[in-house]
């Protein structure tokens, strides 16, 4: 089996999409220098200080496009949203020792980072489809996640949100019965 894009790029794409949350302070993790640098370090993304502002603006742009995918109905529409981020890229392909196909941009600059994030999001769409990429149902959570369950019925980003939602439903039923 060929794994075209390592799952780490898919994970970075989802993690990037969730750097904006109006219910948590700070709302936008990419706006603050410290939290932006922590995000980069968490995902082992290396960037020179002089390039941080350029990388930040490009990652915010792709993040906003990835977050739009959660509400889309068509795979083609979602792919068209991300295609401009990879359209002019020259790609290098290597077969690793474990016989997995590795695709990466031909350069190692800021654009390469953005392109790999875009390619990770594109791979999620191709592999699972937009009907499996959605927002958590437990309000006020706005996490974007990919449902990888067999039944394709996952509606919460985590067990914590599922429990919070269930408890809220239980309390609402108790209030209605009083």
Q: Which CATH number does the domain housing residue 91 bear?
A: 1.10.3300.10
Residue at 73 is within a domain: yes
pLDDT score of 104: 65
Asked whether residue 2 carries a pLDDT value surpassing 50, the answer given is no
Domain span including residue 67: 7-131
**101-105 vs 91-95, strand pairing mode:** antiparallel
What are the tens digits of pLDDT across the range 71-129?
899 999 999 999 998 887 777 777 777 766 666 666 667 888 888 899 899 999 999 99
- Looking at the structure of the chain, the number of domains it has is 1
The rounded distance, in Å, linking the Cα atoms of 20 and 157 is 15
Q: What is the pLDDT of residue 58?
A: 93
Whole-structure pTM over 0.85, yes or no? Answer: no
Residue 3 pLDDT > 70, yes or no? no
Compute the distance between CA of residue 136 and CA of residue 142 in angstroms, rounded to an integer: 6
pLDDT value of residue 106: 63
- Whether 162 is covered by a domain: the verdict is no
């Amino acid at each position: 089996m060929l794994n075209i894009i390592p799952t780490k790029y898919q994970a970075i794409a989802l993690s990037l999409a969730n750097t904006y949350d109006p219910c948590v302070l700070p709302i936008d993790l990419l706006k603050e220098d410290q939290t932006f640098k922590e995000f980069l370090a968490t995902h082992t993304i290396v960037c020179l200080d002089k390039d941080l502002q350029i990388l930040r603006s490009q990652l915010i742009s792709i993040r906003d496009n990835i977050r739009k995918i959660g509400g889309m109905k068509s795979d083609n529409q979602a792919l068209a949203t991300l295609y401009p981020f990879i359209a002019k890229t020259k790609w290098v392909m290597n077969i690793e020792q474990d016989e997995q196909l590795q695709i990466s941009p031909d350069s190692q600059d800021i654009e390469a980072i953005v392109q790999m994030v875009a390619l990770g999001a594109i791979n999620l769409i191709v592999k699972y489809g937009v009907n499996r990429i959605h927002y958590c149902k437990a309000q006020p959570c706005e996490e974007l996640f990919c449902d990888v369950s067999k039944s394709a019925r996952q509606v919460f980003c985590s067990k914590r949100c599922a429990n919070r939602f269930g408890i809220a439903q239980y309390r609402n039923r108790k209030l209605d019965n009083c």
